[in-house]
Structure 1
Amino acid sequence: MASYKLFRTFPRKLYSLLCIVFVILIILWSSKVFNLTKNIKKEKFLVIRGTVKHLKNKTRDTFIHIASRETTVLKRKEGNVNIVIVIKNSKNNPNLHPKFKVLVESISRKSSISLCFHVICDEDGKTIATSIIERAAPTETQIIIHDITIMTQKVKEQISQMQTFFSHSSKSYYGDPLFFLSIVLHRVIPLDKVIMLDVDLKFDEDIRLLYNIFDEFSERSIIGIARENQPVYRHLFHQYRGKNPSTRVGAPPPDGLTGFNSGVLLLDLEKMRKSQVYNSLIDSPKTLETLTQKYLFKGHLGDQDFYTLVSMEHEDLFHILLCSWNRQLCVWWRDHGYSQVFDQYYTCSEQIKVYHGNCNSNIPTLQWERQ
């Protein structure tokens, strides 16, 4: 009789045990899928949609650090301009806060088009960017945060060789990787066109008009950039100019190869990806070494040194912006040996659209600020 009862209860116990095991397996599988999905989401761009005011209710986890691993080029949303700004070491540089605020406010006040800010930054920069844009930008503004460490690691090899040719050392001010990111931005951000800006700018014109200049690019032009407004490259090319007195290298506008200032950049990232000439310059240290030796050039100003040197041989890669789109206010070189020729570089007869307070120059108060 005892054997019969054991026989009858055994299947029930076995069935219960199997049910428990099955439930445990379901829980484990669900947890694994959730974590996998969570990790995948971390790999992608996070676009904060809707109103910027809504960001007040978001936790810091809403913004993720991004170095996109996607290969698909993200097309510009219709009626939207992608703006790239780099912020680093803001904790040790409190002047960045008001400068960034002025930049965002001036763009936002004048813009007739929706904006998407791509902020490449560290942890402190993320906090500053989100809080300032929340207060200063219009409600339809979008923001994408990129982790500067992850992003620069992806192009570490290319940046390292640029540091060799275009900075005093990797530890100098302009030796920081952030000053070379624009050169390789087409390899780390899957967009087609962007406007990349220094923090120390103030707009007095609709940024839409700046973006429209992409339509004026020639077939071979991949970068829009303004001339340097000081005789910086007259000085840096002085050895080459001494041996070639009739050269255009380092000469003033409109006919000279004056050199560039990278405070305002129009980057056609799609064309940059496709340009064999441009990418061969990035990937070939030997080619850059040959150019620096030919022009007896040793730079120290980061990406604009690279663009300037490349333009000596490949003018057609660059669309030159009017001085009004990057009116540099620094006059350091006027008082350091070049007073007689300074105005040939510095004069800008255009109505100023973007003021650039480089070397901590004061930007004038504009009419819209007085209202």
Structure 2
Amino acid sequence: MRQLKSFPLVLYLAIGFLMFTVLKSSSRDNTISEEIPEEIIPLFGEHSFNEHTPQHRHKLSKYEEKPVLPPSSSSSSSTRNSTTESQLNKETVEESSENIDYVTKLKDLINGKFTKASEVVSPTKDAINIGMIIVNRKSSSNFLEKGEEFRKRSIEQMKSIFVEANTKTPLHFIVLTDARSSKQVGKMMQYIISDTLVDELLKIHNRKRKYLPPVYFSLVDYHEVYDLNPEFCNSFKNKKDPNEKETKYSHDFFNIAPLYANAFTKMDKFIFVDCFDLVFQSDIKELQAQFRRMGTAIIGMGKDLSPHYRYALENNYWKLFPNTLIGKPGRFQGFNSGVVLYDLKKMRQSTVYQSALNGKSVYKLQSTFGIVTNVGDQDWFTMMGWKHPGLFYVLPCEFNTQTSLQYMEHRSQEFFDNYHACKPMEQTKIVHLNGCGPMPENCGHMGDPDYHSTPKYRDGYYFYLKFDFDWMFIAGFKNNKKRKIMNIMGMQVVVDDDSDDKNEKLKSEYDLEEENEGKFT
């Protein structure tokens, strides 16, 4: 790749001006916490900002004044005043009740309080229900500890959802976890909300944003889903090579997705996403709108943008059926379960789907296609999509643009682009940072990169550098918080330095960039 050059002088001046503006506004006698009433921290919904932020405070003072009424009799005037005050008091009580309800929900979340899957409901008619699995697989660690990569990436994913979401549509997060992880999950969500809020408040002072969308949470024990049909879930494991080492997909929660419809019986549909390797670049409402395109299909999934299933089929199924489309680039290349739309109501009503939820059907699929399941229920969905394509809607690739270059190697040079290419990266809706990359050597393909790379890779088609102003850096600069260069997913990025060395000289991103000039790829 071409090396990144130093920023032009004009850009330095522009960024310097923005920093000066924010620092100046932050150094006033009345700080952000003093200007914003305490009752809207944490912030859940637009009503708080519309009434309490400084730019709208004049509206609040008008409401507090007695209403101006046309000339009339004193008794009529008194009645009208009384009615208006009563209405205002009623609205105040209703708003207070709503805030108390949110506080209760947040308290339950922090305490790790579970809701039965069968009792989970959509909080409002227009809410977007978003499911994810967050479980601490390491029995000896806490994923909230600083330095934990899972924690950092999960926080970044959730923040990208909030930042890109419109501020009107409620978001309902349904988190499947276990008893040991539930409180960790609750605290992490609390941190994400508060950290995003602080970031957004900084943007408010620069007229970038106004508020966050209303947010709801439900914690569900994933064992409740597994226990509905353990024989089915375990059938994914029985066909594995006995000499194969245990992987993350050996855990039960990677095999429960086909049972969601039978577990969440009061839900009609929801979106399910990976919990830590997605970057949202658009409003999740755009993804929700894809439900309207599904027609009679019951599940919407994007294609697996790799020849993963090609390699699983070419030595068995393809030899029996050389002209098959199964596993070839296109509609039948296989699914990726990083982003899935589940029409739960249709799934419950489908006799074809329901009849496949047993171990015998799993074994039949495996023997038909010669697939040894090794990535959990994604393999089952893929094989079901081959056998019953009408059950599945192919989600446009821009909603699950995978970046892994694991299969970009010399032997796949002629066909890798046919599987992997989607739209240009700057046009994607959701980036899925799965697997390895962004260089061939990051995936173990050593030597000359051109020996492994494909034409689209060499043209820079799979790379997209998105620059955004770091508002939290300004807050960190004022509080003498250090920043450092860190390698994440093969890319060098600037992050908070959590080290205890307080005597080290404070450095900005620009100092670090100058020191590391030529090291960025």
Shorter-normalised TM range: 0.7 to 0.9
Higher helix share: 1
Q: Is the 8 A contact 2:131 2:173 kept in 1?
A: yes
TM-score (norm 1): 0.77
What whole-Å deviation, never above 9, does each CA across 1:277-328 have from its counterpart, x for those lacking one? 1111113x22222222121221211111011111111001111011110000
Instruction: Find the aligned partners of 2:422 and 2:142 in 1 and give their Cα distance.
Output: 34
| Residues 1:65 and 2:114 are matched in the alignment | yes
Shift of 1:136: 2.9
In structure 2, relative to structure 1, the CA distance for the partners of 1:307 and 1:165 (3 Å cut) is farther
Shift of 1:163: 2.9
In structure 2, relative to structure 1, the CA distance for the partners of 1:189 and 1:195 (3 Å cut) is same
Return the letter of the residue paired with 1:266: L
Following TM superposition, the consecutive aligned residue runs of length 4 or more in structure 1 with deviations greater than 6 angstroms are 166-170
Q: Is the 8 A contact 2:299 2:341 kept in 1?
A: yes
| Residues 1:343 and 2:417 are matched in the alignment | yes
Return the letter of the residue paired with 1:366: K
Return the letter of the residue paired with 2:412: Y
> 1:93-242 residue pairs with structure 2 within 5 A?
94-112=148-166, 113-122=169-178, 123=181, 124-136=184-196, 138=212, 140-165=214-239, 171-190=246-265, 191-199=267-275, 200-219=277-296, 221-238=297-314, 239-242=316-319
| Residues 1:268 and 2:343 are matched in the alignment | yes
Q: Is the 8 A contact 1:103 1:202 kept in 2?
A: yes
Q: Is the 8 A contact 2:337 2:378 kept in 1?
A: yes
Return the letter of the residue paired with 1:328: Q
Q: Is the 8 A contact 2:105 2:217 kept in 1?
A: no
In structure 2, relative to structure 1, the CA distance for the partners of 1:368 and 1:315 (3 Å cut) is farther
Q: Is the 8 A contact 1:167 1:299 kept in 2?
A: no
Return the letter of the residue paired with 2:285: R
Instruction: Find the aligned partners of 2:355 and 2:108 in 1 and give their Cα distance.
Output: 43
Q: Is the 8 A contact 1:52 1:139 kept in 2?
A: no
Instruction: Find the aligned partners of 1:131 and 1:155 in 2 and give their Cα distance.
Output: 35
**Structure 2 residue aligned with 1:311:** 385
Q: Is the 8 A contact 1:167 1:300 kept in 2?
A: no
Q: Is the 8 A contact 2:160 2:281 kept in 1?
A: yes
**Structure 1 residue aligned with 2:372:** 298
Q: Is the 8 A contact 1:65 1:145 kept in 2?
A: yes
Match of 1:83 among 100, 110, 130: 130
In structure 2, relative to structure 1, the CA distance for the partners of 1:297 and 1:61 (3 Å cut) is closer
What whole-Å deviation, never above 9, does each CA across 1:173-231 have from its counterpart, x for those lacking one? 21211212221111222311111001210000110011011011122x01110001000
Shift of 1:334: 1.1
**Structure 1 residue aligned with 2:395:** 321
Shift of 1:139: 5.8
Shift of 1:172: 2.7
Q: Secondary structure at the match of 1:226?
A: strand
Match of 1:251 among 321, 328, 332: 328
Q: Is the 8 A contact 2:272 2:340 kept in 1?
A: yes
What value does the CA root-mean-square deviation take over the aligned residues? 3.0
Shift of 1:361: 4.8
Shift of 1:135: 3.2
Any unmatched runs of 5+ in structure 1? 1-47
In structure 2, relative to structure 1, the CA distance for the partners of 1:279 and 1:57 (3 Å cut) is closer
Return the letter of the residue paired with 1:98: K
Instruction: Find the aligned partners of 2:220 and 2:106 in 1 and give their Cα distance.
Output: 21
Q: Is the 8 A contact 1:66 1:151 kept in 2?
A: no
Shift of 1:151: 3.8
Q: Which has the higher contact order (CA 8 A, sep 6+)?
A: 1
Any unmatched runs of 5+ in structure 2? 1-96, 198-211, 439-462, 472-521
Instruction: Find the aligned partners of 2:108 and 2:321 in 1 and give their Cα distance.
Output: 60
In structure 2, relative to structure 1, the CA distance for the partners of 1:56 and 1:369 (3 Å cut) is farther
